[in-house]
Structure 1
Amino acid sequence: MRNLTWRQIAVILGCVLTVATLAVGIYGLVRGPQSAESTSGPPPPGEFEAIPEEATPVVTLKDRALPHTHDPIAYSRAVASSLFDWDTSLGFLPTDYTAAVLADADPSGEETPGLIADVATYLPTVDQWLDLGAMEVRQTIEIDGAYVPESWTAAVEQAHGHLRPGTTAVTVTGTRHRSGVWNGESAESSHPVAFTVFVACEPSFDRCHVLRLSQLDNPLR
């Protein structure tokens, strides 16, 4: 926001969401200022090349970067997948999975501290992660829908132009699926989830960036 403080915008949005029978805050949204393969020659006479052992594939998270897009809906779906698709058996920690979202935070840095706190609630703690790792727990999200909630239109009107241009709230709904090993046997579970992603796109930025997240299972409607 340009002139309003976080407390002031929270009051404005609180009024709007109360009318809509919601008890969710806006969570900030303050506007502020070698590649080629090498080949070896033939071995010397009398020498033989050793047969290499089969290499173990290296698992990385390099492909988890969020897309560069102007579409807040597509972008928010990617944020959801980045936060909910993980595997405790691969040797990574929760922070490895949240890194892609945090790397695409508000370029101004104003919302980054809040976003760090937000994403920490979406994944298990390190101790929980290690316990889940012993059970080889893997999680994915099946996204059912992503939409701009009706209450957001009223919130923008109540802000009287003080929201950062291009700021949008996108509510994502879906089903969280988990699988693992319990007492030596395969086990699965599913649970519905819903949350809101606050993003800022054009004209504030040349592409979408994630600002904040709502409380899990307490989205804007």
Structure 2
Amino acid sequence: MKTPADSRARRRLITLIATGTALLVLVAFGVYGLLTGPAKPSSQPSPPASSATESDTPGATRAPSPPTAPVVRGSRDPQTFAGNVALALFTWDTTTGLMPLDYTSALLDVGDPTGQEQAGLAADIATYMPTRDAWIDLRQYATTQTLTIDSIQIPSSWNEAVDQAHPGQLPEGAAAYTIHGTRQRDGIWNGAPTSAKREVAFTVFIACPPEETCHLLRLSRLDNPLD
């Protein structure tokens, strides 16, 4: 015969078993959680921010590089240097962001190191370059200019000038080269490529002292070279 005490003990045992079972379930889920990590949310999380810079991302738009200032290639050979000057004088591109002054500065950089001819040389170059306003107009048509050199020769009149010059009147290693060539301008007109060619002639006055790189002295007027 079961006593009231036995009934209370049985109920306590059932309670303990139930409580123990619940604890085991919680512990089991706790261990499972440690193994699998937190539950995944129902919606996909946003991808983590990439540490790569914009320039490292495929397809990303890179910032445009600054325009490169032109350079006149130096040389100790008079004829080679005269040709380099001619190409620098006639080669420009209005679409790069450079202005006529940038091309003028490149030529002045190889000018007379004493500075005596710099002002005159700057005035000479200005007659070959478009003005700033003309440059801005040409930029609308993506205008570029190049030169094809046909001949480089020492004019016969230069030899006479050297013979008649007083001592010290000409710098050491002075020389003159008359250049004949074809100037070509290319651009876009009404959406279509267009080009125009023109024959040009001019004289480059330079000085090439012994064991030194040549430098530019002056330029003749366009189409009025020494013969």
**TM-score (structure 2 length as normaliser):** 0.72
List per-residue Cα deviations over 1:56-104 (Å, max 9, x = no partner). 5525334x32233211111011111111111111111101112111111
**1:1-221 paired onto structure 2 within 5 Å:** 47-50=49-52, 51=57, 53-58=60-65, 60-62=67-69, 64-161=70-167, 162-203=169-210, 206-221=212-227
Give the alignment's Cα RMSD to 1 decimal: 1.9
2:172 partner amino acid: P
Q: Secondary structure at the match of 1:83?
A: helix
Change (3 A) 1:120 1:73: same
| SS of match in other structure, 1:116 | helix
Instruction: Indicate if the aligned counterparts of 1:65 and 1:100 stay in contact, CA closer than 8 A.
Output: yes
CA contact (8 A) 2:67 2:97 kept: no
Runs of 4+ in 1 over 4 A off after TM superposition: none
Comparing 175-184 with 126-135, greater Cα deviation is found at: 175-184
Q: Report the identity percentage.
A: 46
- The CA distance in 1 between the partners of 2:191 and 2:73, in whole Å, is 39
Return the alpha-carbon distance in structure 2 between the equivalents of residues 84 and 61 of structure 1: 17
How many aligned positions are there? 175
Q: Provide the C-alpha distance between the structure 2 equivalents of 1:193 and 1:55, rounded to a whole number of angstroms.
A: 40
Q: In the aligned structure 1, how far is the partner of 2:95 from the partner of 2:146?
A: 14
Larger CA deviation: 90-99 vs 116-125 = 90-99
TM-score normalised to structure 1 length: 0.74
Distance of 1:144 and 1:83 partners within structure 2: 15
Structure 2: gaps spanning 5 or more residues: 1-47
Is the contact made by 2:67 and 2:96 (CA closer than 8 Å) also made in structure 1?
no
The structure number with the bigger radius of gyration is 2
Unmatched runs of 5 consecutive residues or more in structure 1: 1-45
Deviation at 1:165, TM superposition (A): 1.9
